[in-house]
Structure 1
Amino acid sequence: MESTVHRPTLRKRNVLFALLLCLTALLSSLATKLYLTNVPESQELSQTYLYRLQFEASPKYKANLDYVGANPWDVMTTYRRLTDKFPYTKSPGGIPKKIFQMWITPGKLNESTIPYPEYRQTWREKNPHHEYRMLSGEDLKRAVKSAFEHTVPEVWEAMDTMPLMILQSDFSRYLMLFLEGGVWADLDTTCDRPISKWYHNLVDYDIRFVGSVEHDVNDESWPSLTSRRLQFENWAFTSDRFHPVLAMVIAHVVRMHFTVMYSGNLNMYSDDSETKACNRLSVIDWTGPGVFSDGIYRYMNEAENRELLEIEFNRHNANEELYGPGTSDKINWRGFSGLKAPVIFNNDVCILPKSGFRCTSDFDESVEEYCYLTHHFARSWFSEVE
């Protein structure tokens, strides 16, 4: 008798429970749909979007209010966060008179163990009015942590989780010049002309960032020879502090690093020689001149006004067929291919021809008009991945 009385009640409960499940599913579906309307279609189901959800669910993100609004996979988000926290105003008197070099080894620097003392001396002797600073790995990490841990923490997280010194070396040079301004030069470079005689210090333009072409391979086989059709080198450059071109470069490095980190490939170097040979290129794209070039190009293309001023209209390859990828970008590799003289962007950024930061071994100031330093290509960074 009891069972016949309670069966209808039990059935009603089951129906109500089923309806509740359906309603919950429906509301969840609507909420998800509403949320996704704020996500670009290209990211809606992408791996990057899933990484971002994982990032926002992490204890580190939840515990640090400085992460709010961060999206390390979106270059422009990181760029805006950097330029908001470190607003750019031109330094009085031009680019700060500082020269930075580094020797990253465990522990404190020992002057006697730092290589190329004769190279370093050229920077001191030719530039007596510049402050010269040799930085250790500890110096760099301390400065980056102090500046970014509570402002744009994804930048510090990227630096702190890079597994190789070469990656930290590349990244920290962008960060140090962003924070301080001055000249960056690798240890295996020699200064052939005083910085006061470099092009940007001899003209009336208010130039605040100077880089140089590294590779300009005008051959249909260029993809097998270089990372970019026209790539800018990162062994030497000069910049004002907080310059937005470096903010853009830093944002590109952050995106690349977080992509690698969240895909689980931080330790991508193995004992296999063929794998290492391939992964050498990944250094270029991860933190090196490949991603450095991407940042410079992106900065130019994001500018509201874009004006390229050529000092010399004749190009080395003026009569050659140009090989290279098509692009919809207004400023691209074609604007810098075959340079014989500097090109100035918006009276602010100067790109030197290939010889600019790569003088010949028998440098002659009388014939090398736009040449300022020699890179000796010691390639010491390769020892870390070989």
Structure 2
Amino acid sequence: MDSSSSALKGNKNGLLVATLLVLTALISSFSTRAYITKSAGTPDLSQEYLYFQRYQQTDRYKQNPKYLDSNPFDIDTTYHRLIKAFPYTKTPGGIPKNIFQMWISPEPVPENDLPYPDFRKTWKEQNPDHNYTVLSWEAVRDAAKEAFETTVPEVWEVLESMPLVILRSDFSRYLMLYLNGGVWADLDTGCDRPISKWFHNTIDSDIRFVGSVEHDLNSERWPSLTSRRLQFENWAFTSDNFHPALAMVIAHVVRMHFIIMYEGHLDMYTKEDGGGNSCHKISVIDWTGPGIFSDGIYRYMNTAEKRVFQDMDFDRYNSDETLVGPGTGEKINWRGFSGLVAPVVFNNDVCILPKSGFRCKNDFDESLEEYCYLTHYFSHSWFKEVD
């Protein structure tokens, strides 16, 4: 099957998968809304303090001096432990020329036997000057253990105890780009334009983190359709190694995982019948996926010492609409990224692309072709795992 036939098949399946995404969000949003409100939006600090006390009594905490001064229930504590253990300085010459993809399976699989060979071929052919790697679970696990077990061990504990492949896949991509820098792309993506021609590499800039809008739902019904009013996708992004935006994302995942773990809910995801009360379950989107990924990026920008935005185009495609969405006390929030038709650059360091950027053929708009770089074909094999 050649690339064109593969792309055609992906496009035919696009509408079906998009529908499945909406249905999945609908199902999970109602069962996790209260949980998220308690655990992330307005935390029960007294309960978290009790969790922290229990955490300090564990053998891991008592026996490993590197756990001292940690508090995985506090985002800022974990964030500062990460940036202290892995000091960040911008890589000379730009983001490292690495491309990472991953295939998690019980046993290592030779690259020639991996799925989506035509998609993978686009990454290698379009970017011959980049180091291309398909990571195995064994490689990720070994790298994470070596990096975090004796520095920020709560991060390693999270990866080690995650009950689902999709959770490990999400968290692993943050960890591997944090340690190495480069481009992350899911296996079911195709590179439509060489990385050297992506926006951040074509302007005189020190941009070291690039993400893209996933959805921007200007509807009163948005809470029943998705977990965030405007969400950044995590199937592709690019980052310098040790970038603090990724440190913040990792810290968010650590907090969410420890809350779930100390509420005794991890086993719900390992039992064949789903186990326990489904109302206590939390969706992948909000645990390790694009929901919490978005939270980390927003928080990173809001906690920066300076906040300077450069908007490449002040026009917005929804400028004639009344924006619908939640109020927020944060200065940097979803409103600043709604209706993008061109990139927005924050502090000459973080770039957010319009949603066409990393989903070219899914949301093709000729006027935005200048900012189209890759296509996601939405195989979503992980649906089977979380049904």
Q: Secondary structure at the match of 1:344?
A: strand
Deviations 1:1-23 (Å, cap 9, x if unpaired)? xxxxxxxxxxxxxxxxxxxxxxx
Q: 2:29 corresponds to which residue?
A: none
The structural deviation recorded for 1:108 is: 1.5
Q: Is the 8 A contact 1:280 1:385 kept in 2?
A: no
Q: 2:103 corresponds to which residue?
A: 103
The structural deviation recorded for 1:376 is: 0.3
Q: 1:291 corresponds to which residue?
A: 292
Deviations 1:157-205 (Å, cap 9, x if unpaired)? 0000001110000000000000000000000000000000000000012
Q: 1:162 corresponds to which residue?
A: 162
Q: 1:179 to 1:104 in 2, by over 3 A?
A: same
Q: Is the 8 A contact 1:94 1:208 kept in 2?
A: yes
User: Greater Rg, structure 1 or structure 2?
Assistant: 1
Q: Within 2, Cα distance between the matches of 1:333 and 1:304?
A: 20
Q: Secondary structure at the match of 1:151?
A: coil
Q: Secondary structure at the match of 1:218?
A: coil
Q: 2:311 corresponds to which residue?
A: 310
The structural deviation recorded for 1:57 is: 0.8
Which structure has the higher relative contact order (CA within 8 Å, separation 6+)? 2
Aligned pairs for 1:156-305 (under 5 A) are: 156-269=156-269, 282-305=283-306
Q: Secondary structure at the match of 2:133?
A: strand
| 1:148 and 2:148 aligned | yes
Q: Secondary structure at the match of 2:264?
A: coil
Question: Structure 1 unaligned runs (5+)?
Answer: 1-41
Q: Is the 8 A contact 1:177 1:184 kept in 2?
A: yes
One-letter amino acid of the counterpart of residue 79, structure 2 = Y
Aligned pairs for 1:45-124 (under 5 A) are: 46-124=46-124
Q: 1:292 to 1:362 in 2, by over 3 A?
A: closer
TM-score (normalised: structure 2): 0.85
Deviations 1:270-290 (Å, cap 9, x if unpaired)? 656899998996100000000
Q: 1:326 corresponds to which residue?
A: 327
Q: Within 2, Cα distance between the matches of 1:156 and 1:103?
A: 20
Q: Within 1, Cα distance between the matches of 2:278 and 2:377?
A: 22
The structural deviation recorded for 1:361 is: 5.7
Aligned pairs for 1:365-376 (under 5 A) are: 368-376=369-377
Q: Within 1, Cα distance between the matches of 2:116 and 2:287?
A: 27
The structural deviation recorded for 1:111 is: 2.6
Q: 2:6 corresponds to which residue?
A: none
The structural deviation recorded for 1:307 is: 1.1
Q: Secondary structure at the match of 2:369?
A: coil
One-letter amino acid of the counterpart of residue 156, structure 2 = W
Q: 1:321 to 1:51 in 2, by over 3 A?
A: same
Q: 1:94 to 1:250 in 2, by over 3 A?
A: same
Q: 297-306 or 270-279: which moved more?
A: 270-279
Q: 1:256 to 1:199 in 2, by over 3 A?
A: same
Q: 1:364 to 1:331 in 2, by over 3 A?
A: closer
Q: Within 2, Cα distance between the matches of 1:114 and 1:198?
A: 27
Q: Is the 8 A contact 2:342 2:368 kept in 1?
A: no
The structural deviation recorded for 1:367 is: 6.0
Q: Within 1, Cα distance between the matches of 2:248 and 2:120?
A: 29
Q: Is the 8 A contact 2:252 2:292 kept in 1?
A: yes
Q: 1:8 corresponds to which residue?
A: none
Measured on the aligned residues, the alpha-carbon RMSD in Å equals 2.2
Q: 1:3 corresponds to which residue?
A: none
| 1:352 and 2:357 aligned | no
Q: 1:226 to 1:177 in 2, by over 3 A?
A: same
Q: Within 1, Cα distance between the matches of 2:43 and 2:342?
A: 42
Q: How many residues align structurally?
A: 345
Deviations 1:181-239 (Å, cap 9, x if unpaired)? 00000000000000000000000121000000001000010001111000000000000
Q: Secondary structure at the match of 1:120?
A: helix
Q: 111-120 or 364-373: which moved more?
A: 364-373
The structural deviation recorded for 1:113 is: 3.2
Q: Secondary structure at the match of 2:254?
A: helix
The structural deviation recorded for 1:112 is: 3.9
Q: Within 2, Cα distance between the matches of 1:324 and 1:274?
A: 34
Q: Within 2, Cα distance between the matches of 1:263 and 1:348?
A: 38
Q: Within 2, Cα distance between the matches of 1:207 and 1:224?
A: 35
One-letter amino acid of the counterpart of residue 77, structure 2 = T
Q: 1:278 to 1:347 in 2, by over 3 A?
A: farther
Q: Within 2, Cα distance between the matches of 1:242 and 1:95?
A: 11
Q: Is the 8 A contact 1:215 1:226 kept in 2?
A: no
Question: Structure 2 unaligned runs (5+)?
Answer: 1-41
The structural deviation recorded for 1:59 is: 1.1
